[in-house]
C-alpha cells in the first residue's frame, strides 16, 4: 500500500483522495446493511400542466437518449448533479456498435471520426497455461467520453433541449397523469422521467429495497506512457493462479495518452473482501510482469478505479409508473464485461423508438415501461459465468481452476469459429453458440465447479438457458407472423425476443475506410 500512497499521493490532483472516497463506499456496501433511500413517492396531485415531456436525471449516458428524443421533437430537460462532461479515459468499443450514432443522425460521420481517439488491432485473449487467441475489431476503438459528451451536449442544445448542471435531482413525485422531478432550485412537471444516475442511483436502490448486490466487479488501472510495445491490446488475460481468493483478469488498450491497463476481478460483497487500495497495490506489484516493464520507466497520466455492483434480477423493473431506468442504473449491461457504454449503444435505437411510442400513445404506466427494459435470457445466462469466475471467501479450490475452465471454454469457441466467438466477446450470448460450445467443453474441467455453484444456481441457469432457446425460435417465428406489428405491446414483445436472444448482433470485420 505504501507504493500506492507514494505514486498516487505525488500526482497532480491527488487521486489517492478519490480512491479512498470510492473505497469508503465499497466498505459501506460490504459491511453495512444498505438502507434504501426514499427518493420516489406517490402524491395525490394533478400535474398535467407539463413543463416538458421528458426529464433525464444524470447526463453521462443520459445525454445520448436525451438528444435522440429531443431530435424527434419531444421537449427534454437534463438534470445533472455536477458538470455534464465525460471523463478523460477512453471507452473501448467495436465499430459496429458505434455506427448507430450516425444511423440515428445524432452525429455526422465527421463528428464520429472526431470523437474516436484511438483504433488498434489485434487483441489477445489468453489464460494462464493456455495459448493466445488473436482477434480483430473487437473493442478496438477508443472513444473519448469527453469529446462525445461535449458534441452531444452542443447538438442537444441546438435542437432545443435544456440542461441544468450542478442540479442534483433530490426527489421524484408520481402524480395523476405525470411526475415531478425536484432539485433544490427546480420543480419540473413532466410526462416521463429517465433515471440515468448510474449504478448508485437512489431510485434504483429504492426499487431494489436496499438488497445487497449478487456480484461485484472491482477494477483498478492506469493510463501511462513509457511502454515499449503499444500496438496491440488484451481483451482478457491472466497470468497468475487464484490470489487472495480472487482470479485476477487483465485488460490493455493503446490509448491517446499512452497505454491503458486494467486489473479486474469478480467477487461478492462479503465484509472480509479487500479494498480497492489493496487491489491497486496488487496491480502495481504485478504490472511489471504483465507488461514486461519497470514501474520507474512509466509516466502515469491517470489512475482509474471503481466497483460495479450487479444483481441477478436485471434489468430492474421499477414499481412506479412514469420512471424508466436507463444506462447502468437499469442493470441492462453484462455482469461480466460491464461495458455500459456499449450496452447503451446496442439498445439506443430500440429505447428511442420505444420511449417515443410510449409518449405518443401515453403508455407510461408501470407495465408498459417495464416492457422497455425487458427480461433478457441472454443476459441472465451470463450470471453463472460471473459466478464461476469468482471464489468464495472461505472456499478452497485448486489454484488454476478458473484458468483451466477459461482455457477449456475458449479453446472450444475458437475451434467453432468466429460466428460463435465474436458475439460472445462482444457481450452477445446466442443460443446456437452456447448450445454448440457447452457439450464440447471437457466435463472434467466443469465437474469440480458444480458443488460451488450449487443446485439452485444451476437450476436457475437452466431456466434462463431454455428461455434463451425459446426466445431464439420465438424471434424467427414472430418475424414471420408479424412482419409489421402496429401495437405498442406487440412491438415491445418482438423486440424482447430479438434482443433477449442476441439476434440484434451484427458482426463487423471492417475497419473504417
Ligand atoms: C474504469 C472504468 C472503465 C470503463 N471502461 C468502459 C469501456 O471501455 N467501455 C464501456 O462500454 N464501458 C466502460 N465503462 C463503463 C461506463 O463508464 C459506464 O457504463 C457508464 O459510465 C455508465 O453511464 P451512466 O450514465 O449510466 O452512469 P454514470 O457514468 O454513473 O453516470 C451517472 C450520471 O448521473 C449523475 N447523477 C448522479 N446522481 C444524480 C442526481 N441525484 N441528480 C442528477 N444527476 C445525478 C452523475 O453525475 C453522472 O453524470 C468503464 C467504467 C469504469 C469505471
Same domain, 332 and 190: yes
Nearest CA to ligand 1 atom 3: 91
Same domain, 297 and 352: no
For 44-88, the pLDDT digits (tens) are 988 889 999 999 999 999 999 999 999 999 999 999 999 999 999
What's the mean pLDDT in 138-150?
97
Nearest CA to ligand 1 atom 24: 198
Same domain, 258 and 389: no
Tell me which residue range forms the domain holding 67. 40-88+152-211+312-373
Distance of CA 386 to the CA centre of its chain: 14
Same domain, 187 and 278: no
Our CA angle for 486, 489, 490, nearest 5°, is 55
Contacts 24+ apart (CB under 8 A), 372-376: 372/324, 372/492, 373/315, 373/316, 373/317, 373/324, 373/325, 373/330, 373/332, 374/315, 374/492, 374/495, 374/496, 374/499, 374/500, 375/315, 375/467, 375/496, 375/500, 376/315, 376/332, 376/496, 376/499, 376/500
Distance CA 269, CA 132 (A): 32
Q: Is residue 486 scored above 90 in pLDDT?
A: no
328 alpha carbon to ligand 1 midpoint, in Å?
7
Nearest CA to ligand 1 atom 27: 198
What is residue 511's predicted lDDT score, i.e. its pLDDT?
Answer: 41
Query: Which of 19, 67, 91, when mutated, tests ligand 1's pocket best, judged by the most ligand atoms within 8 Å of its CB?
Result: 91
Q: Is residue 399 scored above 80 in pLDDT?
A: yes
Are residues 244 and 282 in contact, defined by beta-carbon separation less than 8 angstroms? yes
What is residue 506's predicted lDDT score, i.e. its pLDDT?
Answer: 65
Same domain, 59 and 173: yes
The domain spanning residue 342 has which CATH number? 3.50.50.60
Same domain, 159 and 264: no
pLDDT band of 507, cuts 50, 70, 90: low
Q: Is residue 442 scored above 90 in pLDDT?
A: no
Q: How many C-beta atoms surround the C-beta of residue 440 within 10 A? A: 14
60 alpha carbon to ligand 1 midpoint, in Å?
6
Residue 352 lies in a domain: yes
Closest by CA position to 144, among listed 81, 88, 74: 88
Same domain, 185 and 81: yes
Query: Which of 324, 338, 425, 428, when mutated, tests ligand 1's pocket best, judged by the most ligand atoms within 8 Å of its CB?
Result: 338
Same domain, 266 and 294: yes
What is the grid cell recorded at 336?
A: 461480466
Task: Give the H or E element holding residue 452.
Answer: helix 449-453
Closest by CA position to 72, among listed 359, 342, 323: 359
Q: Is residue 513 scored above 50 in pLDDT?
A: no
Arithmetic mean of pLDDT over the chain: 94
Residue 306 lies in a domain: yes
Same domain, 293 and 349: no
Domain count, the chain: 3
What is residue 10's predicted lDDT score, i.e. its pLDDT?
Answer: 84
Residue 461 lies in a domain: yes
Domain boundary among 271, 292, 310: 310
Residue 58 lies in a domain: yes
C-beta of 374 in contact with ligand 1 (< 6 A): no
What is residue 36's predicted lDDT score, i.e. its pLDDT?
Answer: 84
Residue 34 lies in a domain: no
Domain boundary among 270, 294, 310: 310
For 447-462, the pLDDT digits (tens) are 888 888 889 989 999 9
Q: Is residue 273 scored above 60 in pLDDT?
A: yes
Domain boundary among 320, 346, 373: 373
C-beta of 478 in contact with ligand 1 (< 6 A): no
Sign of the CA dihedral with 404 first, then 406, 409, and 410 last:
negative
What's the mean pLDDT in 83-100?
94
List Cα–Cα distances, 29 to 1, 34, 279, in angstroms: 22, 7, 17
More confident residue, 79 or 10: 79
Same domain, 349 and 258: no
For 17-26, the pLDDT digits (tens) are 999 999 999 9
What is residue 330's predicted lDDT score, i.e. its pLDDT?
Answer: 97
Residue 493 lies in a domain: yes
Statement: the pTM of the whole predicted model exceeds 0.75: yes
71 alpha carbon to ligand 1 midpoint, in Å?
23
Same domain, 204 and 338: yes
Provide the 8-state DSSP code for 208: T
Same domain, 330 and 352: yes
For 303-350, the pLDDT digits (tens) are 999 999 999 999 999 999 999 999 999 999 888 888 899 999 999 999
Residue 52 lies in a domain: yes
For 156-202, the pLDDT digits (tens) are 999 999 999 999 999 999 998 999 999 999 999 999 999 999 999 99
Nearest CA to ligand 1 atom 7: 91
Residue 118 lies in a domain: no
Distance CA 248, CA 218 (A): 10
Amino acid at each position: 500500500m505504501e507504493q500506492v500512497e507514494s505514486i498516487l499521493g505525488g500526482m497532480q490532483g491527488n487521486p489517492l483522495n478519490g480512491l479512498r472516497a470510492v473505497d469508503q463506499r465499497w466498505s459501506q456496501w460490504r459491511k453495512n446493511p444498505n438502507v434504501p433511500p426514499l427518493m420516489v413517492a406517490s402524491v395525490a396531485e394533478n400535474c398535467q400542466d407539463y413543463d416538458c415531456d421528458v426529464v433525464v436525471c444524470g447526463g453521462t449516458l443520459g445525454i445520448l437518449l436525451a438528444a435522440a428524443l429531443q431530435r424527434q421533437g419531444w421537449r427534454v430537460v437534463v438534470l445533472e448533479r455536477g458538470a455534464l462532461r465525460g471523463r478523460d479515459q477512453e471507452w473501448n468499443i467495436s465499430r459496429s456498435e458505434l455506427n448507430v450514432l450516425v444511423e440515428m443522425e445524432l452525429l455526422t460521420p465527421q463528428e464520429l471520426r472526431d470523437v474516436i481517439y484511438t483504433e488498434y488491432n489485434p487483441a489477445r485473449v489468453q489464460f494462464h497455461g493456455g495459448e493466445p487467441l488473436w482477434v480483430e475489431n473487437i473493442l478496438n476503438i477508443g472513444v473519448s467520453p469527453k469529446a462525445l459528451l461535449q458534441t452531444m451536449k452542443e447538438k442537444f442544445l441546438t435542437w432545443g433541449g435544456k440542461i441544468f448542471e450542478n442540479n442534483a435531482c433530490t426527489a421524484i413525485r408520481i402524480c395523476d397523469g405525470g411526475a415531478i422531478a425536484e432539485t433544490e432550485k427546480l420543480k419540473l412537471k413532466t410526462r416521463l422521467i429517465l433515471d440515468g444516475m448510474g449504478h448508485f442511483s437512489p431510485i434504483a436502490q429504492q426499487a431494489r429495497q436496499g438488497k445487497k448486490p449478487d456480484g461485484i466487479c472491482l477494477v483498478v488501472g492506469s493510463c501511462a506512457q513509457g511502454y515499449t510495445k503499444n500496438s496491440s491490446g488484451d481483451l482478457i488475460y491472466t497470468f497468475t493462479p487464484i490470489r487472495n481468493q480472487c482470479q485476477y483478469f487483465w485488460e490493455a488498450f493503446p490509448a491517446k495518452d499512452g497505454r491503458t491497463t486494467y486489473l479486474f476481478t469478480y467477487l461478492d460483497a462479503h465484509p472480509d473482501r479487500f479494498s480497492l487500495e489493496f487491489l491497486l497495490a496488487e496491480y502495481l506489484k504485478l504490472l511489471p510482469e504483465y507488461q514486461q516493464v519497470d514501474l520507474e520507466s512509466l509516466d502515469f497520466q491517470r489512475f482509474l478505479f471503481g466497483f460495479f455492483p450487479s444483481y441477478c434480477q436485471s434489468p430492474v423493473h421499477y414499481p412506479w409508473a412514469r420512471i424508466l431506468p436507463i444506462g447502468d442504473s437499469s442493470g441492462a449491461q453484462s455482469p461480466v464485461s460491464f461495458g455500459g457504454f456499449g450496452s447503451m449503444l446496442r439498445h439506443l435505437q430500440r429505447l428511442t423508438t420505444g420511449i417515443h411510442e410510449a409518449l405518443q400513445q401515453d403508455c407510461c404506466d408501470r407495465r408498459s415501461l417495464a416492457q422497455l427494459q425487458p427480461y433478457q435470457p441472454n443476459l441472465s445466462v451470463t450470471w453463472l459465468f460471473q459466478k464461476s469466475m469468482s471464489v468464495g471467501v472461505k472456499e478452497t479450490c485448486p489454484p488454476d481452476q478458473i484458468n483451466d475452465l477459461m482455457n477449456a471454454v475458449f479453446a472450444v469457441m475458437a475451434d467453432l469459429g468466429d460466428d460463435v466467438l465474436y458475439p460472445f466477446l462482444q457481450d452477445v450470448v446466442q443460443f446456437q453458440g452456447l448450445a454448440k460450445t457447452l457439450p464440447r467443453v471437457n466435463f472434467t474441467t466443469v465437474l469440480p465447479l458444480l458443488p460451488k455453484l450449487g443446485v439452485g444456481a444451476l437450476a436457475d441457469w437452466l431456466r434462463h438457458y431454455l428461455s434463451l432457446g425459446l426466445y431464439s425460435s420465438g424471434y424467427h417465428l414472430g418475424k414471420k407472423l408479424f412482419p409489421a406489428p402496429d401495437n405498442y405491446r406487440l412491438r415491445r414483445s418482438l423486440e424482447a425476443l430479438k434482443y433477449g436472444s442476441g439476434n440484434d448482433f451484427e458482426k463487423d470485420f471492417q475497419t473504417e475506410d
